[in-house]
Amino acid sequence: MSDGNNMLMVAGLNVAYGEAKALFDVGMTVRPCEIVGCVGRNGAGKTTLLKTIAGFLKPTTGTVTFNATNLVGMAAFVVAGVGIKYVPQDKRVFSDLTVRENLELASYATNDYDWSQVTHYFPRLKGMMDRKAGFLSGGERQMVMIGQSMLGNPKLLLIDEPTEGLAPSIVAHLKDVFSELKKKAALVLVEQNLPLVCAIADRVYALCEGRIIAELMDRDSIRPEVCEPYL
């Protein structure tokens, strides 16, 4: 059941990789047009949480409800179809395809061929449409991946470590993009870059060893020195 303003509700989520449990009774909510940060050490379960919401992993127990639709058991491509886009951490675009073909794939899946928003946020992509994506830098690949996820006007973006290994200028640019994107969609941002999270997140969940150990609910409490102990 969708509750009040909540667009996404995760409750009692338990996920395991075979015998190894990765998430324990995790719960979180996301409201429309807000940025929710997820912080925690490596192996805390942040990526597992995003992959489970995106339908790539099946929880052993628990519910994932998106606008009153239970997502548990749905295939990942069906979850993408309801408006939840996952941007994985690996920055692996379709390297043998051009930037244009990469975007076309996303357009065809969503029937959205208006790339003006993508080129507005990432004008650099305009000049490299015919370049093979395998020849792009890490930052440019991230732009392509976020550009792909923006097509089709998704309602929720799950973005996994978007700034990992990127130059500070690109990180600053992505920060502005995320702040802009928030006007149209909710974002769940898994990040280790605390200054970025603290600058743009409306709420923050801290994970440790598969459990949510803290929930920072108001903007004033979301500061690097508060989040630091959770990393």
Partner 1 sequence: MSVLRWWWGLLLAFAILALGRVFLPLPFANEIVLFSIYAMGCNFLLGRVGFISFGQPAYLAVGAYGTAFYLFYFGSNPYVGILCGIVAGIVISLAVGALFVRLRKDYFALVNLALAVIVYYLMQKVLAGITYGDNGLWFLTSIASTPVLDLSRPDQFFIFAFLVAFAIFAFYKYIDDSIFGACCLATKINEDKLTFLGYSNFSIRLVAFVIANTTTALAGAMYAVYLGFVSPEITSAARTPEPVIVTILGGVGTLYGPIVGSLVYIGMKDLISKFVGNWELIIGFGLVLIMLAGEKGIWGTIEPLLKKAFSCALRRPLPRTLGGRSDD
* Chain contacts with partner 1 (rule: CB under 8 A): 54, 56, 75-77, 80-81, 85-88, 92-97, 101, 104-106, 108-110, 148, 152
Smaller CB distance to partner 1: residue 152 or 210?
152
Q: Count Cβ atoms below 10 Å from residue 51 Cβ, excluding itself.
A: 18
**Min separation Cβ 113 and partner 1, Å:** 11
Smaller CB distance to partner 1: residue 105 or 171?
105
**Min separation Cβ 161 and partner 1, Å:** 15
**Min separation Cβ 111 and partner 1, Å:** 10
**Which residues are CB-contacts of 70 (< 8 A; sequence separation ≥ 6)?**
63, 64
**Min separation Cβ 20 and partner 1, Å:** 20
Smaller CB distance to partner 1: residue 85 or 155?
85
Closest-CA residue to 94 (of 171, 57, 148): 148
Is 117 in a helix, a strand, or coil?
helix
Smaller CB distance to partner 1: residue 64 or 93?
93
78 to 9, 51, 81, 190: CA distances (angstroms): 18, 14, 5, 22
**Alpha carbon of residue 4 to chain centroid:** 23
φ and ψ at residue 60, rounded to 5 degrees: -75, -40
Smaller CB distance to partner 1: residue 23 or 159?
159
**Min separation Cβ 84 and partner 1, Å:** 9
Token representation of residue 56: 């790539």
